[in-house]
Structure formats: C-alpha cells, structure tokens
Chain A
C-alpha cells in the first residue's frame, strides 16, 4: 500500500513569507502528527490531529498552524517565516493507540 506522501519535497522561501505543507497519510490511518527536525534540536513535536481535531500541540509559536480534512489529509502552515524555521518537516501517520508511526519523506524548507 502507498506510504505517507508529503509535498513538496523541497521549498525555498524568503523571510516574512508564508508556506503550506501537505501530508497524505496511509489509507485508513486517522492520526497524523507533524514534527520539525533540525540538527541542533532533533525531532520536535508540532501537532497531532485525529479525525479532523487537533488533539495535541507542541511548544511552537502561533505562526505554526495546521488542520486535517475529512479524508485525513493534513496541512501545516507557517506564516511570517523566520530564518530559524529552516528545517525538515516530517509528517507521520498511525492507525491509533498502540501502533507505530509511518513517516513521510519530509519537506525540506529553507528560509533565506
């Protein structure tokens, strides 16, 4: 079966712009989580969605937002980009409680 699909794979944006990243989970997976990965901070949790509801949110500023649609696809948005937002953004889906995550290949965001 198809894995977790993230688009786009690479993005270069300018400070102050906004960006939207997309994630299509594995069919049947209703839980989608987003992580930011950087060499210094590692994997930092952004948000988790389940059945279109945000269940948990990490310690990121309000410039980071997300949503989930009825087909479980999810998007995250970052407004007013800063240089420090440059990172690999990973989306992971799971069936739910007690199951492992399947990660997408990520979106590499570079802010210049």
Chain B
C-alpha cells in the first residue's frame, strides 16, 4: 500500500519553515525520507525506526507516530539547497526492511 504524502507541492521563501507529512493505511515499523533534485538520483535523508531510533541528516528532523501511522519531516530555516522533491518510503512487508514503497513525493521550491 503506497504511503500518502501531503502537501503535493509547497513554495517557500528562504528562512521559512515547512512540514511534509507521510501517512500509511497499515502499521508502520519504519519510515525512510529521501530528497531528489531535478535530474539527479534520490538522496537518503533519514530513517525513523519503531522504538524511536533515528538515523540520518543533522539539519533536518522528523517525527514518527506509530499509532497514527504517520511521519512528518520538518524543514526549518529553509535554504535554497533544500529545493527538490521529497519522498517518504515504507517497507512493503512490515519490519524495518523489505522493499520500500514510496509516496508520490512533495515538491519543495525555496525562493530567494
């Protein structure tokens, strides 16, 4: 079941904050976050594991609500380099691994 991301797109000015949400219809054991810039490959940002363990980016934070089956990515004091499409991915068969199913992405544009 593909996770659902919201919003689909957001435009920010440098220095503003943004929140990107990822929801699943089934129990989540882990959530991955990736950013893809135009013409480039997706880049790993962060993984959140059931139990609270978090691995990844120092400047970007995220939350993982197991009960609500959702995760949120927090981009604070955005920079031009934050522009890109953000994807969340969840394991298809439960657990912390198994192939990832990705949401359709949230396109973030940061303007000067």
Contacts and interface: CB of A to CB of B under 8 A. Distances in A.
A binds B: yes
Interface of A: 31, 33, 35, 42-43, 45, 47-48, 55-56, 58, 90, 92, 94, 96-106
A31 B102 CA distance: 17
Interface string B45-67: 01101000001100000000000
Interface of B: 30, 32, 34, 40-44, 46-47, 49, 55-56, 87, 89, 92-93, 95-105
26 contacts: A33-B99, A35-B102, A42-B103, A42-B104, A42-B105, A43-B102, A45-B92, A45-B100, A45-B101, A48-B99, A55-B99, A56-B98, A56-B99, A58-B99, A90-B42, A97-B95, A98-B96, A98-B97, A99-B47, A100-B55, A101-B32, A101-B34, A101-B42, A101-B100, A103-B34, A106-B41
Contacts of B49: 98
Q: Is the interface of A mostly helix, strand, loop or mixed?
A: strand
A104 B41 contact: yes
Contacts of B96: 97-98
